[in-house]
């Protein structure tokens, strides 16, 4: 069974790692890995291949930065040639980035069976590019692998046939559980001069947060208050870095004594950082899941989440981007009243094993 796997951005690499590992060990599967190059530099791409022992991709389209329309078009053009040449039995796409949608569309047009890993997640906010990518990919997928019960419910409501949907757990947690011990051996936290539970972590990258002056300013004003109570480590995403300069916020932020800006970090360093933190402030979907698995309090700086299980039984709280609420909930955690969470069902490190079993069964092997 020839399976062609499409990845393009750092969340994809984390999710594909356990799947590729199991495919390579299976004598009945021939895996092919295509990196679109949507994320292409060392901090956002190559370091993840190194940290997660992902093999060198068989193809790298190197599309790089561009507006979404041109980026998706370039990826589709490149994948069309590869799919026609390789003639895979199945295409696998993961997550909700531009590479996910591009891979799904090309597979559909060439009548190649398509599997979507992390299907059914919904924020119901169509201003999010990721929501469009998720919904469109799910509509044309033949096999849909869900991480949580709400995703299964969403897919059924949208008219997806029950026989196409599989609740398998979360491949991102497979990776976390495999590398947690190695991450804890990383010297990164000590190099920053930090003691466990003595700091918080911030990540910001979504356009609705960093591309709007007033919204970004409000989050930074909240951060200014919070950092007076606890040290905050901020691995700055390239998009946020650009907007800090664009809006003239950089000097202000660098003047906050208890806030430390660092470059984007690799997977092991980030896992080490969040697992030893007091709490996390983020607009990342993946970090909502990782903090729930690690039982680290998480405040999501968004109006919604497509991962409701992290709120229902996990450690996550959706606080929006208003200064007062961000500060209030942060101080609540610092006051010893952090939300306690449980591990969601099937987040046990075996999701990739379940996925491979379904792929083989549906292909008759």
Q: Which residues are marked as active site?
A: 205
| 336: three-class secondary structure by DSSP | coil
Could you tell me if 293 and 176 are in contact, meaning their C-beta atoms sit under 8 angstroms apart?
yes
From the list 268, 265, 260, the residue with the least C-alpha distance to 232 is 260
Indicate if the alpha-carbon torsion angle 92, 97, 101, 106 is positive or negative. Answer: negative
Q: Alpha helices of the chain — where are they, by DSSP H?
A: 10-25, 47-51, 68-86, 98-109, 129-139, 149-157, 171-184, 188-191, 207-210, 213-226, 238-246, 250-254, 267-275, 285-294, 309-312, 323-334, 351-362
Distance, CA of 291 to CA of 280 (rounded, Å): 8
Q: Counting runs of H as helices and runs of E as strands, what totals does the chain give?
A: 17, 13
Buried b (16+ CB within 10 A) or exposed e, 103-127: bbbbbbeeebbbbbbbbbbbbeeee
Q: Other CB atoms closer than 10 Å to residue 30's CB: what's the count?
A: 15
Could you tell me if 174 and 352 are in contact, meaning their C-beta atoms sit under 8 angstroms apart?
yes
- How far is residue 127 from each of residues 38, 130, 133, 136, measured CA to CA in Å? 21, 9, 11, 14
Distance, CA of 151 to CA of 146 (rounded, Å): 6
């Amino acid at each position: 069974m020839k399976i062609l796997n499409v990845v393009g951005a750092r969340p994809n690499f984390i999710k594909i790692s356990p799947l590729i590992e199991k495919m390579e060990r299976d004598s009945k599967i021939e895996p092919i890995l295509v990196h679109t190059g949507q994320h292409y530099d060392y901090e956002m791409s190559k370091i993840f291949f190194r940290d997660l022992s992902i093999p060198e991709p068989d193809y790298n389209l190197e599309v790089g930065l561009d507006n979404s329309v041109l980026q998706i078009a370039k990826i589709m053009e490149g994948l069309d040639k590869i799919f026609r040449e390789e003639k895979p039995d199945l295409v696998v796409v993961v997550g909700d980035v531009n590479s996910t949608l591009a891979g799904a569309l090309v597979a559909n047009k060439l009548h190649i069976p398509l599997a979507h890993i992390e299907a059914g997640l919904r924020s119901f906010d169509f201003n999010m590019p990721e929501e469009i990518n998720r919904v469109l990919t799910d509509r044309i997928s033949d096999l849909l692998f869900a991480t949580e019960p709400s995703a299964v419910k969403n897919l059924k409501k949208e008219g997806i046939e029950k026989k196409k949907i599989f609740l398998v757990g979360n491949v991102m947690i497979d990776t976390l559980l495999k590398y947690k011990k190695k991450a804890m051996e990383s010297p990164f936290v000590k190099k920053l001069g930090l003691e466990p539970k003595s700091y918080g972590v911030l990540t910001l990258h979504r356009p609705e947060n960093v591309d709007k002056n007033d919204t970004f300013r409000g989050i930074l004003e909240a951060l200014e208050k919070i950092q007076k109570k606890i040290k905050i480590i901020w691995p700055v995403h390239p998009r946020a870095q650009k907007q800090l300069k664009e809006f003239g916020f950089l000097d202000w932020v660098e003047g906050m004594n208890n806030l430390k800006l660092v470059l984007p970090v690799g997977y092991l360093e980030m896992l080490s950082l969040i697992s030893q933190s007091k709490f996390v402030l983020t607009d990342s979907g993946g970090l909502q899941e990782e903090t729930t698995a690690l039982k680290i309090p998480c405040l999501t700086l968004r109006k919604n989440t497509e991962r409701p299980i992290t709120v229902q039984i996990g450690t996550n709280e959706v606080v929006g981007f208003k200064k007062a609420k961000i500060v209030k909930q942060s101080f609540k955690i610092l006051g010893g009243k952090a939300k306690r969470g449980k591990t969601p069902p099937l987040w046990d490190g075996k999701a990739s094993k379940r996925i491979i079993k379904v792929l083989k069964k549906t292909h008759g092997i």
